[in-house]
């Protein structure tokens, strides 16, 4: 078989009908029907049962489909690893988040995103709130997740909000109160974040509304240092409820009136999100809302992004497995259609270190094997072998290809029982 045929099978499973799959694959219904009938005949098993207008996998069919999807995933992983190791340019999405804090959410969404979009490099750029809208508008980054107010420079989706608290040393006269009025802190020194940070921008606004200039005891762009100075009792400060770090030497109280800060996803104005960008944005929204310290804002666009994330999420229902294979492999399957028999040929070249000996193993003429090799190298866009001292040795890409080919052949043998 070839990997395109495994793509056909996965698509039938995804759509639950031959007609829907045929439309998606841009094949005639008769072509796809013949393919399925021939595959079932080869395997000696029925793969789908029809109930009403839908096709449902049999027990055997489910096993075959899962193996087919794993084969597609393995091919995609193999090809993308080859491109990465040889320095080929991958598509990328540049995501801006706040310094330090943003790395936490990035680490949580990186794996699920990369699993479904392995052909897209996800690049993290740490930018403070004041810098994010301009960076998005100028195309320095593709999207941003950050706190603060909406910006006229970007299209913003308000994902969630969290309460802003006042941090006071335990020895402060107002430490025992449940709520704090900012005007009661006019004589209290403050520890503040740098002017580029969202919470500092909000703090300056609160000071203006309260009608006084604060006494600044310490100021820094390093939010972790600011937090440490607050916990050492250097002064009062503002902290998002989402980032409170319990400490016996300080207390955290809400303000009167309550102050909320929104978390926004920011995109270029007029830009239509790609499927991958929508999936990434949905994962970011999902991870933010999973934190009980954030409250949803009710923005209708958030639900659309969450749906995009769920479509490609490994935690979603029936389509998750199909999307993992079909969604991620689609980019490469349509361009690279590898025959598993040819994979065997290339493995033999590695083992024999010779075209002529590999050809003899399969009773092929050497020119025919050379054509197969050139065809595969043309499809993957890079050389797989180099010649040294009259022997063929796999390149770095060739080694990755052969290892991936062995995995694919193992999966295929589990399907066919060696009848390929």
pLDDT, one tens digit per residue, over 76-101 is 888 888 877 766 555 788 999 988 76
Which residues does residue 155 pair with via DSSP β-bridges, in sequence order? Answer: 267
220 has a pLDDT exceeding 80: yes
User: Between 343 and 87, where is the model more confident?
Assistant: 343
What is this structure's pTM? 0.56
CB atoms within 10 A of CB 2: 15
Angle at 223 between CA 222 and CA 229, to 5 degrees: 95
- The pLDDT of residue 304 is 87
Residue 262: closest CA among 157, 143, 179: 157
- The pLDDT of residue 315 is 37
In the structure, what pLDDT confidence band is assigned to residue 390 with cuts at 50, 70 and 90? confident
18 has a pLDDT exceeding 60: yes
Q: Which long-range contacts does 128-131 make (Cβ < 8 Å, 24+ apart)?
A: 128/98, 128/99, 128/194, 128/196, 128/197, 128/198, 128/221, 129/98, 129/196, 129/197, 129/198, 129/201, 130/195, 130/196, 130/197, 130/198, 130/201, 131/96, 131/196
CB atoms within 10 A of CB 412: 19
- The pLDDT of residue 81 is 81
Average pLDDT of 154-176? Answer: 95
> What radius of gyration do the chain's Cα atoms show?
29
DSSP line for 204-236: HHHHHHHT---EEEEEES-HHHHHHHHHTTS-B
Average pLDDT of 136-161? Answer: 92
Average pLDDT of 343-364? Answer: 94
259-275 pLDDT, tens digit per residue, is 999 999 999 998 888 88
Distance CA 207, CA 214 (A): 7
Average pLDDT across the chain, whole number? 87
Question: Hey, what domains does the chain have and what are their CATH numbers?
Answer: 3-87 (1.10.10.10), 91-157+262-311 (3.40.190.10), 162-258 (3.40.190.10), 340-416 (1.10.10.10)
Distance CA 265, CA 96 (A): 10
| DSSP label at residue 88 | P
């Amino acid at each position: 078989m070839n990997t395109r045929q495994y793509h056909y099978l996965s698509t039938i499973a995804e759509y639950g009908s031959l007609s829907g799959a045929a439309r998606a694959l841009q094949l005639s219904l008769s072509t796809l029907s013949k393919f399925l009938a021939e595959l079932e005949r080869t395997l000696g098993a029925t793969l789908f049962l029809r109930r009403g207008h839908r096709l449902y996998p049999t027990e055997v069919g489910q096993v075959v489909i899962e193996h087919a999807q794993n084969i597609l995933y393995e091919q995609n992983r193999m090809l993308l690893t080859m491109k990465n190791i040889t320095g080929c340019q991958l598509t990328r999405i540049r995501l801006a988040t706040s310094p330090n804090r943003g790395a936490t959410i990035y680490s949580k969404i990186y794996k699920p995103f990369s699993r479904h979009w392995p052909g897209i490099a996800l690049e993290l750029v740490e930018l403070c709130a004041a810098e994010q809208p301009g960076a998005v508008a100028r195309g320095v980054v593709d999207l941003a997740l950050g706190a603060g107010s909406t910006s006229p420079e970007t299209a913003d989706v308000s994902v969630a909000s969290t309460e802003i608290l006042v941090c006071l040393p335990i020895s402060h006269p107002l430490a025992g109160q449940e709520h704090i009025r900012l005007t009661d802190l006019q004589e209290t020194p403050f520890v503040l974040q740098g002017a580029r940070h969202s919470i500092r921008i909000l703090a300056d606004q609160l000071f203006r509304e309260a009608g006084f200039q604060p006494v600044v005891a310490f100021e820094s762009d390093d939010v972790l240092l600011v937090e440490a100075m607050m916990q050492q009792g250097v002064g009062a400060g503002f902290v998002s409820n989402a980032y409170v770090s319990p400490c016996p030497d300080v207390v955290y109280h809400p303000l009167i009136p309550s102050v909320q800060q929104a978390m926004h996803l920011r995109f270029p104005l007029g830009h239509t999100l790609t499927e991958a960008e929508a999936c990434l944005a949905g994962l970011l929204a999902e991870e933010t809302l999973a934190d009980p310290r954030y409250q949803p804002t009710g923005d209708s666009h958030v639900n659309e992004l969450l749906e995009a994330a769920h479509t490609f999420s490994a935690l979603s229902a029936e389509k998750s497995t199909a999307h993992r294979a079909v969604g991620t492999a689609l980019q490469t399957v349509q361009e690279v259609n590898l025959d598993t028999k040819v994979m065997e040929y290339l493995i033999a070249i590695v083992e024999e270190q010779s075209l002529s000996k590999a050809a003899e193993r399969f009773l092929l003429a050497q020119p025919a094997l050379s054509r197969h090799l050139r065809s595969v190298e043309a499809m993957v866009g890079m050389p797989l072998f180099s010649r040294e001292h009259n022997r063929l040795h796999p390149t770095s890409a060739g080694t990755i290809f052969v290892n991936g080919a062995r995995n694919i052949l193992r999966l295929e043998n589990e399907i066919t029982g060696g009848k390929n």
